[in-house]
């Protein structure tokens, strides 16, 4: 099967959605598909080429790259619309058996002016977040060239089914991880030496460093627990998080790191933190079942997270994680203190999380999606 994966993203870059996308490009290749990545062409810098992109995202060079020139690609809103118009019409897209995208304008462009069937992948429950979009997705779901949608969570899937998209056109496929990237596994002591961290109780957050990710609550936890080292990995500048963390001796902010250099910070931790806040899911809406969840679970360290409906698809309180009510700093601080005072419990939760995620690799996810695509192709257009 030849898949044209069409994106509006300039590559490579640090954005989490590009990491997920390129992990799936690699996963499709490992699962036996032929993949062409159709991406915007750089205007002011040389094209990086396939091997440079593969090296950046640490995946195999099992795909081809087709660069599409449209309008100036550095203006994000224009770029999305422009790629929606030109991407599905590119010769590489026309030659493919199936188009695949994470971008709604590209999906609409393919249905309105393309020629090939298309699959849409998203983490967003758009009909729930933007009720006006429900009729649009109902129309999309009935289009003869719409094969289906791949959703990152049941929470997202249910919103499209409620909007009127046929259930057999929807697949929940939780994200995955690459086991090779977690090798060699390090002890806490070894990882702390490697990361130049003190040998004391350590809590790590790795991901996008903004207040919208709930990191204000991490700062509040750090103020309440001065004997605990809090490590924030992924800073890309001087923002509000960095300003609030600066006066705190027990908070270390680490710049954005390549994947290989991020993993030791996870192994250095007693507890990995998903800030127990509703802001990413409900207020901002751009984080549903965050990617870090899978990496945290695979690292085999205890996880403290909010008891939100998306995370509870994978994390279960007292079984493989410690879940607390969202937006309740006191409860989060008390639960963290309890965890850090019980190393055996941390070990048990971490090992249970690792066992629960063991089969969620990118190639296995790709195999599921390819089966879904073949079934939809065999079934034909919706009635």
What tens digit of pLDDT does each residue of 84-96 get?
A: 999 999 999 999 9
- The whole-model pTM stands at 0.93
Average pLDDT over residues 67-94: 85
Cα separation of 299 and 353, whole Å?
8
pLDDT at 86: 92
Distance CA 141, CA 147 (A): 8
> What are the chain's domains?
2-176+361-378 (3.40.50.2000), 179-357 (3.40.50.2000)
pLDDT at residue 380 greater than cutoff 80: no
Q: Determine the pLDDT at residue 30.
A: 96
What pLDDT, on the 0 to 100 scale, is given for residue 49?
A: 92
Whose CA is closest to 264, among 187, 178, 350?
Answer: 187
Q: Is the peptide bond before 143 cis (omega within 30 degrees of 0)?
A: no
pLDDT score, position 45: 85
Task: Give the long-range contacts of residues 160-163, CB within 8 A, separation 24 or more.
Answer: 160/125, 160/126, 160/127, 162/127, 162/128, 162/134, 163/127, 163/133, 163/134, 163/135, 163/137, 163/138
Tell me, what DSSP letter sits at residue 257? -
Question: Which phi and psi (to 5°) does residue 85 adopt?
Answer: -85, -40
Region 52-61 average pLDDT: 95
Closest by alpha carbon to 36, among 64, 11, 2, 59? 64
Question: Which pLDDT score is estimated for 260?
Answer: 85
Res. 280: pLDDT tops 70: no
Lowest mean pLDDT among 79-88, 90-99, 302-311, 342-351: 79-88
pLDDT for residue 80: 82
Q: In which element (H, E) is residue 264 found?
A: helix 259-267
Q: Based on C-alpha coordinates, what's the Rg of the chain?
A: 21
Closest CA to 178 of 366, 368, 361: 361
Q: How confident is the model at residue 299 (pLDDT cuts 50, 70, 90)?
A: very high
The pLDDT score that the predictor gives to residue 287 is 65
Look at residue 70 in the predicted model and tell me its pLDDT.
79
Angle (CA) 260 281 333, round 5°: 75
Looking at residue 302, what is its pLDDT?
A: 98
Mean pLDDT throughout 198-213?
94
**Bond prior to 12 in cis (omega within 30° of 0):** yes
pLDDT band at 382, cuts 50/70/90? Answer: low
Q: Report DSSP state, residue 11.
A: S
């Amino acid at each position: 099967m030849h898949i044209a994966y069409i994106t509006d993203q300039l590559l490579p870059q640090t954005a989490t959605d590009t990491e997920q996308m390129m992990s799936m490009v690699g996963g499709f290749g490992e699962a036996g598909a032929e993949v062409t990545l159709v991406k915007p062409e750089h205007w002011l810098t040389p094209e990086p080429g396939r091997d440079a992109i593969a090296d950046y995202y640490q995946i195999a060079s099992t795909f081809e790259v087709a660069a599409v020139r449209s309008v100036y690609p550095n203006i994000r809103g224009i770029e999305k619309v422009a790629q929606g118009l030109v991407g599905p019409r590119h010769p590489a897209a026309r030659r493919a058996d199936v188009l695949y995208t994470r971008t709604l304008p590209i999906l609409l462009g393919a249905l309105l002016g393309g020629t090939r069937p298309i699959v849409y992948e998203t983490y967003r429950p758009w009909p729930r977040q933007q009720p006006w979009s429900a009729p649009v997705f109902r129309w999309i779901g009935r289009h003869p060239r719409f094969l289906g949608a791949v959703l990152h969570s049941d929470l997202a899937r249910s919103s499209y089914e409620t909007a009127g998209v046929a259930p057999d056109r929807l697949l929940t496929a939780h994200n995955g991880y690459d086991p090779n990237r977690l090798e060699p596994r390090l002890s806490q002591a070894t990882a702390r030496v490697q990361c130049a961290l003190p040998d004391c109780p350590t809590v790590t957050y790795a991901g996008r460093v903004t207040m919208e990710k709930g990191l204000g609550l991490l700062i509040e936890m750090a103020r309440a627990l001065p004997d605990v080292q809090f490590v924030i990995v992924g800073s890309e500048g001087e923002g509000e998080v960095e300003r609030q963390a600066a006066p705190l001796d027990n908070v270390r902010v680490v710049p954005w790191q390549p994947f290989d250099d991020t993993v030791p910070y996870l192994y250095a931790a007693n507890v990995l933190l998903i800030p127990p806040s509703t802001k990413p899911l409900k207020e901002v809406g751009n984080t549903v079942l965050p990617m870090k969840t899978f990496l945290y679970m695979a690292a085999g360290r205890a996880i403290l997270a909010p008891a939100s409906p998306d995370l509870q698809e994978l994390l279960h309180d007292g079984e493989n994680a410690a879940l607390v009510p969202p937006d309740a700093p006191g409860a989060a601080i008390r639960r963290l203190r309890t965890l850090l005072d019980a190393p055996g419990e941390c070990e048990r939760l971490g090992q249970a999380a690792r066992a629960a995620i063991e089969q969620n690799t990118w190639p296995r996810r790709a195999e599921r999606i390819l089966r879904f695509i073949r079934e939809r192709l065999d079934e034909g257009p919706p009635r």
